[in-house]
Each structure stands twice: as C-alpha cells, then as structure tokens.
C-alpha cells in the first residue's frame, strides 16, 4: 500500500499517513505479535480485522501507549507515539468494546469530568450526540444497555475535536439497527479529509460497508494491508472438480477447500486468470472468504 501525504494544519508541513507501524513486536507467555508493519492513510477508514486473539487489541494498546513494544516503532502524525504532546493526544478519540466509565456516573457527571480532561471539550457537541442517540441525562451508567454504553463512549470520543478515531470492537455484540446507526456516525466523521479512523473488528460486514483499506492480522502476523476495493476485485472463487486443480497454474491459487458439494479454489489476479482459462468462471469473493481461504485453506 502506497503512503499518502497530508497537510498538518498546525504546522503547515506535509506528512505521510496518520499512523505508521514498522516491525513492531510484543512477546507474551503464549503469544507473539511478530514484527508487524502497516500504515493508516490520513483521511481514510482502515479496517483492522482478524479472529479473536489474533493481536488486534494488543496492537491498539501499543498505538495508544497503553503497553510498550519490545521492538519496532509507532508514529502518529509523524511523531513517536510514546512522546506525543498533550494537545496531540487530545486529538485522538478512543472507543473500546467495554465501558470504562464508573457505574454511578450520569451523562451530566461525564460532561463535567471530560471538560476537565480535554482542552477542546465541546459541551454542545456532546449533548447533541446524546440527543441524537436518545441517551438520558440523569440515568446512571449502570442502568444503560450495552448499546447505550457504546453510544455514550462514541459520543465522548467525538466531542473533543478528535482527528483520529481508534475503535476496538466498537460494534461488537450490538444489534443490526444500532450497528447501522453507529456506522453512519463514522461515515459522517470521515467526510472531513483531516479525519482518520482505525476500526478494529471481527465483524467483516461492517468493514465491507465503510472501510477504504483492510489490514488482516492472523496469529500475530500481518497477512495483508490493501485497498479494500482492489482486494475484492483481484480475488475470486471457482467451483470445480478435484481433478481440475491440476489444470490450473499454482501461482493463481490462494487456497483450496473441499466439501460434500465439490472443490472450491480461491484465485488471485482474476483478470489474468480469465484471459488464460476460459473454461472457469470466477465468482466474486468477499473479504471474509479471502481471509478464510488464506488462513485455513490448504495450498495443494
């Protein structure tokens, strides 16, 4: 994926990408985040996908300086992530899967607390989001539903002039109507070209709806980081007999799966494949299918 340039409105200097991770590793007793590298272009939505336990949350915590990598580097807006100024940190909105707010707080309490934390806290914006999400002002957090807590977290993240949203499973466990509403909010946010979203999730349909780029992490390693539309366009699925596999150049084959209905092959470079093999008709592949074939499909 090529880097993109953006103009830092504070310094007037062009910089590459909102987030750059290079050869970052983090070792635990039973898990290794293994020299991962990827970039999040400014003005885009990056879908960060992978199965539970693949390393998504570990990566996000490292980006947010909540844990320290054993090696490698992370830069945000061109600055080392572990030495961002207070003003730059205030421009990062964060939403985790679970609520980190005390159960006995109300939204009015939260407004006062956040006003003391963030120099750019916008009370009017906060209450506009509360009204948009139909969140009560006097009700305690402990009485909120899961969806209400997530909407509250998003309201906070969007009410202090954030330019970068870092979202860890922000739509996980929510019903389809609530998820759709939240995705619309993210799409509104990204209309400003200076805004960027890193969206970690295992709900691939959400990524297909809103992401510009997709980074796939599997067992602690980055498998690909690509433009979403190009990724889908280049891959396809063909359904054939087992004997047909020998007819196809192995360089086209990403993975093979067999079931009671026959054999499925994930192939890459669809245009070149069509020109060479007229007898096979590739079907469109989804991001989820591409991930499954790469991570689970055998190669021969």
Cβ-proximal residues to 291 (8 Å cutoff; 6+ apart), any chain: 49, 50, 204, 216, 218, 223
Q: What is the CATH code of the structural domain delimited by 5-226?
A: 3.40.50.300
Among the ranges given (116-125, 170-179, 214-223), the one the predictor scored with the smallest mean pLDDT: 170-179
Question: Which of 38-47, 95-104, 192-201 is predicted least confidently?
Answer: 95-104
Helix (H) / strand (E) element for 199: namely strand 196-201
In terms of Cβ atoms closer than 10 Å to its own Cβ (0-12, 13-18, 19+), residue 300 is exposed
Whole-number pLDDT of residue 267: 94
Given this model, what pLDDT does residue 299 score?
Answer: 60
Residue 73: pLDDT over 50: yes
Question: Which of 21-25, 53-57, 148-152, 253-257: highest mean pLDDT?
Answer: 21-25
Strand partners, 153: none
Q: What pLDDT sits at residue 260?
A: 74
101-137 confidence digits (pLDDT tens): 888 999 999 999 999 999 999 999 999 999 998 998 8
Is the pTM higher than 0.75? The answer reads yes
Confidence at 9, pLDDT banded by 50, 70, 90: very low
Q: What are phi and psi of 100, to 5 degrees?
A: -105, 15
Banded pLDDT at 11 (limits 50, 70, 90): very low
pLDDT of residue 178: 83
What would the pLDDT profile of 241-253 be if each residue is shown by its tens digit? 888 999 999 999 9
End-to-end CA distance of the chain: 28
Apex CA 41: angle with CA 14 and CA 115, to 5°?
85
Q: Where are the domains of the chain?
A: 5-226, 235-296
Q: 82 pLDDT exceeds 50?
A: yes
Q: Which SS3 state, helix, strand or coil, does residue 170 take?
A: coil
Q: What is the mean pLDDT of residues 194-217?
A: 93
List, as one string, the DSSP characters of 5-38: EEE-TTT--EEE-SEEEEEEEEE-SS-EEEEEEE
Report the interhelical angle of 123-132 vs 146-157 (nearest 10°). Answer: 150
Among 20-29, 30-39, 171-180, whose mean pLDDT is lowest? Answer: 171-180
Percentage of the chain beyond pLDDT 90 is 69
């Amino acid at each position: 994926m090529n880097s993109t340039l953006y103009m830092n409105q504070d310094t007037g200097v062009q910089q590459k990408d909102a987030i750059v991770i290079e050869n970052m590793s983090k070792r635990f007793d039973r898990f290794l985040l293994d020299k991962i590298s990827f970039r999040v272009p400014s003005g885009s939505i990056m879908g960060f996908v992978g199965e539970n336990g693949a390393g998504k949350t570990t990566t996000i915590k490292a980006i947010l300086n909540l844990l320290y990598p054993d090696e490698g580097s992370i830069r945000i807006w061109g600055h080392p992530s572990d030495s961002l100024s207070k003003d730059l940190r205030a421009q990062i909105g964060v939403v985790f899967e679970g609520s980190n707010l005390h159960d006995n707080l109300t939204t009015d309490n939260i407004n006062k607390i956040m006003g003391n934390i963030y120099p750019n806290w916008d009370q009017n914006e906060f209450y506009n989001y509360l009204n948009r999400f139909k969140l009560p002002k006097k009700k305690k957090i402990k009485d909120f539903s899961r969806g209400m807590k997530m909407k509250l977290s998003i309201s906070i993240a969007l009410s202090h002039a954030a330019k970068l949203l870092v979202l860890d499973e922000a739509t996980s466990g929510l019903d389809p109507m609530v998820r759709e509403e939240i995705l619309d909010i993210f799409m509104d946010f990204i209309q400003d070209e200076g805004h960027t979203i890193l969206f970690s999730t295992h709900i691939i349909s959400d990524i297909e709806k809103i992401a510009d780029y997709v980074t796939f992490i599997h067992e602690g390693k980055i498998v690909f980081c690509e433009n979403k539309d190009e990724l889908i366009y280049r891959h396809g699925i063909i359904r054939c007999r087992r004997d047909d596999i020998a007819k196809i150049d192995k360089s086209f084959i990403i993975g093979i799966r067999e079931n009671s209905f026959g054999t499925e092959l994930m192939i890459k470079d669809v245009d070149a494949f069509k020109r060479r093999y007229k007898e096979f008709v590739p079907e469109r592949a989804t991001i989820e299918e591409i991930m499954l074939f790469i991570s689970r499909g055998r190669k021969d």
